[in-house]
Chain A
Amino acid sequence: MANSVNISVEAPIENQIQEITYDGQEIYQAPLSMSENLARLAQKIDFTKSDDEFCNIKKEGESSLDIKSEDDKEPGYQSSLWPWDSVRNKLRNALTEVCVLADVLSIAKEKRYMVLDPIQADQVESRPMVQVYGRKKALSAAGAVLLNGVERLRASETMRMTRNMPDFHIDLLRLRQNWRLKKVSNTIVGDLSYRTAGSKFSQTGVFEVTKAPEEQIAQAMSMNATGPAPSALRVTVPPELQGVAFISVLCQKEQEDVVTATLSSSALNCPGTLPGEGAELHWQQKLEAAQNVLFCKELFARLAAEAVQLDASIPHMVVGNQIMATVLPGIQLLIGLCHNNGQNNNNPEGVKSEGSGNKSEHDHVLEHSLHQLLRAVHHSNTHHPFPHPASGPLGPSKRRSLAGPMASDRYELLEMSKEQSLLEQIIQQAQHFFMRRRSEYVLDTIAKEVKDPLIVSHWNALNSPTQSCVKINIMAYGYDAVCRTSLVVHVGEKTLKCICRDGKVRHLSYELQELRDLIYCQIYQHQMTAVQAVGRCMGWQLLASSSHLGSGPVEPLGNASSCLLASPNGDRMIAIRCEPSVGIQVFIAQSPRKDFFVSELVQDKKWENLGGAFKEVKLEKMEGKNFLNKMELLMACLSSPL
């Protein structure tokens, strides 16, 4: 903070010093005025120069020096010359040259005094042999490089052929044709999951592809000389996907003890290992098995999650690798995941005896259904419907897009969003399977027991997993054209729907007895209508009939029915009473009565025409193939005048 020093800042001197006088005064060369500056620049222009810039710069440098030297000289001689003089001279020379050129061209054009002739340029001496030699040399060099490469390839190929080893790259190509592969840094990995097909399972299915070591290949080839060559690839699947797995679906009667249910099921007995387990498997089989294991795991995980979440009347149980669901009262559905890792540690001793029996019960159809259901879920995950018209939003299904214009209420929208879970669907299928089996059993037993009218059942060839249809015809042998009773039974999941010919629709439950009772009632109704039809054929008149008779003891099953037939000439009557539990009773009466005796009260003989009492006919002693036949014979016998 001492005394401040004055600093003066000056610009450097721009103008050159011309002269320094004796008293120290500097005389500056006056700066060039505008016109002088322009003159200086104009003198730098040289009209004889070419367009080459580089030459321009150099020549400019040279010529500026020349011009400056000339300039320095000239003021000595002719300082009064106009600075534009050189420019004017150069321009004048240029004009002269151009005029001369124009004159020459016009004279040459006239072709009278001057003609322009082309001059042949000197022929370049062609030396074809040199070219040929040059090309030959170049080609031989290229050929040498190619031959070198071919030699190397041929050597490796012959080596391979002599040793007869499988080719890694060909195998890799085959693998790539079937599976998706990716190269990640140094390794080749692949994906065997169903992710691109629409699966949303969290477990990945990544496998690694490596080169199989040569000793192993040689060993395998020496062991298995006649079979197919082992592959040069080795495929490593993750340990949790190794081995074989399948879903076992079993329908069985409800077990009292839950523990025995688990032990005796086939879930723990996993049959089926891959063939040739000890030796190295072909990669295709290995990968397919691993993919199947992943699929089964996804399926089982989904079913187990649904089993826990679903709210059924009898709750489903999930124990370890098994799901137990109640299909019908007394019937259980057991779904288990069998995964054989190849370690064979899954069979406790006590199971072996029952294992073989249980293996045959495993339901392949329901297992296939489960696979199809999961594949349908995958499919719907990827195949979303397209909007029509095309400007609509992607995503909503047809029902959803119609919900707005059709004014669906909240309830309908909620219903639309609900969908049936896999477990519910498979339970429905199992229920239907049982209902169908039961109905078949009932119909078959009735057909075996009842011989008199024949029971013929036709099952529809086309049916769905949850609905089947059977048409039952009841007819008598020989009288099928006369009378035939038919009914249709729709077998659903838990109920049956019977539609009779008269239009009545009856809904039956899953109890066998109901169907049995219904068929029996229909049989006896058939008998009654058939007898009336036979009577019509024979000319007998139907006097009365009643399908629900109120007289007699109360029937345990259905109602008694009866009919009254009169012969063509009116002297005989047949009364038939039909009861489903007891059977059929036939009574005949004739008029005039044979046992009429005149008594005090009834004196006139004419009262014998009123008709006698009914006497029962012993049907079992009568001749005739079946009831209708017997009735026909009876009617024939009674019709003839006696």
Chain B
Amino acid sequence: MAANAPPMTATDSLSQAVKANIIHNQEYLLQGSVLDSAVEVLLHRLRGLCDNVDAGPETFDDQEVCFILRDPNQQALPSMLRVRKALDARDMPYQLRYIGQADGEKNRPTVLRSVLDIACSGMLFEFLNELGCRIEYEYSVKGYMFRKGRMKITVAKVFKIPQSSMAPEPISQSYLVELSVLAPTGQDAIGEDMRAFADQLRPLVQLDKIDYKRLSHMAVT
């Protein structure tokens, strides 16, 4: 080791890693939904198509809290941070997620957005409060997870968090289906593979790009 070399700071190594395209900071996403009555058939099909048929579908039960950080001078757009914790695996760390704007290119088969996932310890809530983030909303998600190679498929139901210790109430009679891949920049070929896989699920569920701008313009009740 060179004794006189200056020590590498964390930001230096992080920027080097980003330049070397080893950090998975892009997410390719396709979403769809399926009614409660039809979800069993979809789960069977996914079980057959995805890896590891012998191990049953992996269940998960998560709770997500969305924080919003507003600029006091109202100059910059408020940024949203999501904190997700696993209710069925309490010893796993919390995941702090930042989701960027979706790339609006029409020719892309999937939604592409930049995403940063960081595992954090339990002091996260205090830290975010100290930073100035305020809770905007929270919900819980419960469902099944599958994988095929690099692709992750989740079929989950979104619930409202109840005030007291009542059972969580679902917000709709359907399941949300998501097909996502986390990849570093420049791996666009995975979008085609995702589209091909989504076509195999076609009659049961239609996985498509969602136009988030249109959704955000709709009235929020």
Residues of A within 8 A of B (CB): 382-384, 386, 388-394, 398, 401-402, 404-406
Contacts and interface: CB of A to CB of B under 8 A. Distances in A.
B95 A389 contact: yes
Which residue among B94, B119, B120, B154 has the maximum number of chain A CB atoms within 10 Å of its CB?
Answer: B119
B121 A388 contact: no
Contacts of B93: 401-402, 404-405
Contacts of B152: 390, 394
B71 interface: no
Given A390-B154, A392-B95, A383 B55 contact: yes
23 contacts: A382-B51, A382-B52, A383-B52, A383-B55, A384-B147, A386-B60, A389-B60, A389-B64, A389-B94, A390-B62, A390-B86, A390-B141, A390-B152, A390-B156, A391-B95, A391-B117, A392-B95, A392-B117, A393-B24, A398-B92, A402-B91, A402-B119, A404-B118
- Which 7 pairs between the two chains have the least Cβ-Cβ distance? A388-B86, A405-B121, A388-B89, A389-B62, A389-B86, A389-B84, A405-B93
A430 to B, nearest CB: 31
Contacts, number: 69
A595 B121 CA distance: 86
Given A388-B89, A388-B92, A394-B147, A401 B60 contact: no
A405 B120 contact: yes
B contact face: mostly helix, strand, loop, or mixed: strand
Contacts of A394: 147, 150, 152, 182
Contacts of B88: 388
A382 B52 CA distance: 7
B147 A389 contact: no
Contacts of A402: 91-93, 119
A89 B152 CA distance: 78
Interface in B146-194: 147, 150, 152, 154, 156, 182
Nearest to B123: A405
Interface of B: 24, 51-52, 55, 58, 60, 62, 64, 82, 84-86, 88-89, 91-95, 97, 117-121, 141, 143, 145, 147, 150, 152, 154, 156, 182
B58 A386 contact: yes
A402 B91 CA distance: 9
B147 A386 contact: yes
Given A382-B52, A383-B52, A388-B92, A401 B119 contact: yes
A393 B117 contact: yes
A406 B94 CA distance: 12
A392 B119 contact: yes
A406 B123 CA distance: 12
A388 B60 contact: yes
Contacts of B147: 384, 386, 394
Contacts of A384: 147
B193 to A, nearest CB: 15
Contacts of B156: 390
A406 B91 CA distance: 11
A389 B64 CA distance: 9
A400 to B, nearest CB: 9
A407 to B, nearest CB: 9
A382 B55 CA distance: 11
A390 B60 contact: yes
B179 to A, nearest CB: 13
Identify the interface centre among A392, A404, A406: most chain B CB within 10 Å of its CB.
A392
A398 B90 CA distance: 12
Nearest to A401: B119
A7 B119 CA distance: 86
Contacts of A393: 24, 117, 182
B138 to A, nearest CB: 13
A171 to B, nearest CB: 27
Given A386-B145, A391-B95, 19 more contacts: A386-B58, A386-B147, A388-B62, A388-B89, A389-B60, A389-B62, A389-B64, A390-B60, A390-B86, A390-B141, A391-B97, A392-B119, A393-B117, A394-B150, A394-B152, A394-B182, A401-B93, A404-B120, A405-B121
A394 B146 CA distance: 11
Nearest to B54: A383
A195 to B, nearest CB: 13
Contacts of A405: 93-94, 119-121
